[in-house]
Amino acid sequence: MKKILFVFTIFSLAIISCGEAKKEEVKKEVEAPVEAAKEAPVAGDDMIALGEKLFTEKTCVSCHQLDAKIVGPSIKDIVKVYDQNDASIVEFLKGDKEAIVETDPGQVAIMKANLDGFVKDLKEEELKAIAAYMKNAK
Ligand code: HEC
């Protein structure tokens, strides 16, 4: 419990220190759910709602549907592979990890273009929200 509190304190400090410039409103939106979620299988509803919004607004949905493969693998297929490998979607989105769902170079390049393009501009909280949404999508 102490450890959790410690991690949580560091985490809050990080959010506070880098969030100064942000409007109070935005902080409220992401801060509370992040505490509970941290990419846990069951995340706060707010977190999931934010993730769903981002998944649509950031065009992820145009290549990733819930059940069917279109341009990219379905959300369910992605989550299945990530669960099986105990891997982190957030780390993949941050560009820290190689693709594990589809490894065909052509496919990887399509997703990589998003990571290098606009995904790198998303905040850690936003990436966590997206991951939480994907894991809880039904
Ligand atoms: C232009 C189409 C396109 C868009 C837009 C797109 N993706 Fe992808 N995505 C792909 C393709 C193709 C793959 C398969 C290659 C791969 O697995 O890396 C993929 C794979 C993935 C994977 C699995 C990576 C792995 O380990 O193999 C995740 C997670 C993912 N996308 C999340 C997202 C999120 C979140 C967004 C929105 C921020 C997004 N994608 C937007 C095409 C897209």
Residue 4 has pLDDT above 90, yes or no: no
Percent of the chain with pLDDT strictly greater than 90: 67
| CA 111 to ligand 1 centroid distance, Å | 5
Cα(18)–Cα(54) distance, rounded to whole angstroms? Answer: 21
Q: Tokens representing 74?
A: 């379905």
Average pLDDT over the chain reads 82
Ligand 1, atom 17, lies closest to the CA of 102
Per-residue confidence band for 133, with pLDDT thresholds at 50, 70 and 90: very high
CA distance 135 to 138: 9
d(CA 116, CA 122): 11
Write down the residue that tokens 């992820």 correspond to.
60
From the list 51, 71, 54, 66, the residue with the least C-alpha distance to 111 is 71
What pLDDT digit, counting tens, does each position of 78-103 carry?
Answer: 999 999 999 999 999 999 999 999 99
Using most ligand atoms within 8 A of CB, pick from 63, 76, 83, 136 the residue to mutate for ligand 1. 63
| CATH number for region 32-136 | 1.10.760.10
Output the CA 94–ligand 1 centroid distance in Å.
Answer: 12
Predicted confidence at residue 97, as pLDDT, reads 97
Among 11-15, 79-83, 124-128, which is the least confidently predicted range?
A: 11-15
Q: What is the mean pLDDT of residues 49-76?
A: 98
Name residue, tokens 């981002």: 54
